[in-house]
Amino acid sequence: MLLEMANTKYALFAALIHVSANSILAAPQYSSRPPRMRKFPEHLKFGVATAAYQIEGGWDAADKSPNIWDVFVRKPGTIKDNSTGDDACLSYYYHKRDIKMMKFLDVDFYRFSISWSRILPTGFTNKISEAGKDYYNNLINDLLKNGIEPIATIYHWDLPQSLQDLGGWTSPNVVDWFGEYARVLYQLFGDRVKTWITLNEPKQFGVFGYGTSRFAPGIDAKGIGEYLAVKNLLLAHARAWHIYNDEFRSIQKGKCGITIATDFREGVTNSPEDVEAGEIAMDFEVGLYSHPIFSTEGGYPPRVIHRVAQKSKEQGYHKSRLPELSPEEIKYIRGTSDFYGFNHYSTRFYTTENYKKGTFPIPSYDDDIGAVGTYLDYERGAVIHTTVVPKGIRKALKWVKDTCNDPQIMITENGFSTFKGLNDSRRINYFIKYLDNILDSIELDKCNVVSYTAWSLMDNFEWDSGLITKFGLFETDYESKEKTRRARDSAFWYRHLLATRTLDPNYIVQRDDIAF
């Protein structure tokens, strides 16, 4: 029955979606002119971001319990340089230095994440860590004393290992676990934190963690695990939003939303097959998470429902590998975000040329998409997903406006990867080109962008790349006892940008040797 329903939905919506998606992507005229001097709108706020596991260190400090990354990094071959986040940047001990760096930049806000196992050592609410509570209270209070708005991410990939042992994000019980955890955070910090992000990049921790062995917890259950995680994380996000909306919003006067990785996907060529491949990839990579929350009808994107159902049937499954959302669940998830948290780094291109059965493992998420994704011959950063395609961020913002009911958009991550060194002119050039396209999206496409966040404040543990890849405005000296940070050229550039609220492609950085 599910297969027939999926086919019926596809028949009803496919033509409409194909036409509307083509019109969305074709409407703007993307300029190839070089960036020029421009003022930012007065309402646009600027900040920096980090994540708990990537910077805090103190992995076993006080009564904190292991999270899935603490365990994952100890498996041989998982991290390129065999490093761990055990120490990272030692921000658990030296958060005041981080704030001095932010004051140097003069940012409006700081986006950080809270470690679930540092606050709740058992993963459950039976024990709240006093040490964990003190750490985040001190961080939040010191931010506010320095005129910096705290923006807190509830979950940035570091599930307590105790909960992973019970099934993690593939267990429907995670909806309750996450809701209880979120309620504790609202109670402890919601009087001062007025912007909450429930989940950071659900695709990355769902697909890479449960459909491949790339990210923690490394459950390589291709074609099954990632879809179990998708349903549960959507419901968990909705649970956290409803708890805030029903129990805390009227008193705390804040907002709550989700951040979705929204790198753009499009066809390698303009052939109908490649154009459709790019649109399908956007449905899987972004729409699988945005459509249930932001669309008018809710639920998974129709093309995703159809493709997974059809592939499942061909593979001998008696029902779709994509768990069904009931009408009640669709209603419960729809509308549960006060803003669209938008992370963007690059654009990937898709083609069906030479694609045939068996190109990817069967079943798998990649096989369900049914096309090959690649990064074309553009300038590349230290990691491939920072390939420089500036017009892609404008296309992605326009896609969000047109497919997600024109939401308020908070750009919660954007950045470029390099290797070590204080002279990072390539990072500055990346920022200039991407900010120029963001201004086009605001001024020409009328996208409701309200904030921009540079990733990252400093070099940190960059997941499976370890300590090799550098994203920081400040360089972290991992050989020093206190993980000393030094301002890169990009830190001085960003400081000037924020001071003038002007994008000036001709500004020449004068760097001093400033260490924190």
Q: Verify whether residue 328 is a known catalytic residue.
A: no
Q: Where are the beta strands (DSSP E) in 221-339?
A: 255-261, 264-267
Other CB atoms closer than 10 Å to residue 512's CB: what's the count? 7
The answer to whether 304 touches 283, Cβ cutoff 8 Å, is yes
Torsion (CA) 500, 503, 504, 507 in degrees, nearest 10: 60
Q: What is the SS3 assignment for 159?
A: coil
Going by C-beta distance under 8 Å and a sequence separation of 6 or more, which residues neighbour residue 48? 102, 105, 107, 110, 111, 453, 454, 455, 456, 457, 473
The answer to whether 336 touches 293, Cβ cutoff 8 Å, is yes
d(CA 290, CA 170): 20
225: left (phi over 0), alpha (psi -120 to 50) or beta: alpha
Going by C-beta distance under 8 Å and a sequence separation of 6 or more, which residues neighbour residue 168? 68, 159, 174, 210, 217, 219, 229
Phi, psi dihedral angles at 378 (to 5 degrees):
-110, 170
What tokens appear for 402 in the block? Answer: 């047109």
d(CA 340, CA 474): 28
Other CB atoms closer than 10 Å to residue 328's CB: what's the count? 8
Q: Specify the residue for token string 């409803």.
A: 242
184: left (phi over 0), alpha (psi -120 to 50) or beta: alpha
d(CA 341, CA 261): 8
Amino acid (one-letter) located at 127: K
Q: Which of 201, 276, 279, 329 is catalytic?
A: 201
Q: Verify whether residue 413 is a known catalytic residue.
A: yes
In 3D space, the residue among 390, 382, 345, 352 whose CA is nearest the CA of residue 370 turns out to be 352
d(CA 377, CA 387): 9
Q: Which of 266, 276, 413, 475 is catalytic?
A: 413
266: β partners: 349
d(CA 23, CA 18): 9
Q: Residue 244 burial by CB count (10 A; 0-12/13-18/19+): exposed, middle or buried?
A: buried
Q: Where are the beta strands (DSSP E) in 19-130?
A: 38-39, 45-49, 109-113
For the chain, the residue count is 516
Instruction: Count CA atoms closer than 13 A to 328's CA, side-chain side.
Output: 0
Other CB atoms closer than 10 Å to residue 468's CB: what's the count? 15
Phi, psi dihedral angles at 254 (to 5 degrees):
-110, -165
**Residues with catalytic function:** 201, 413
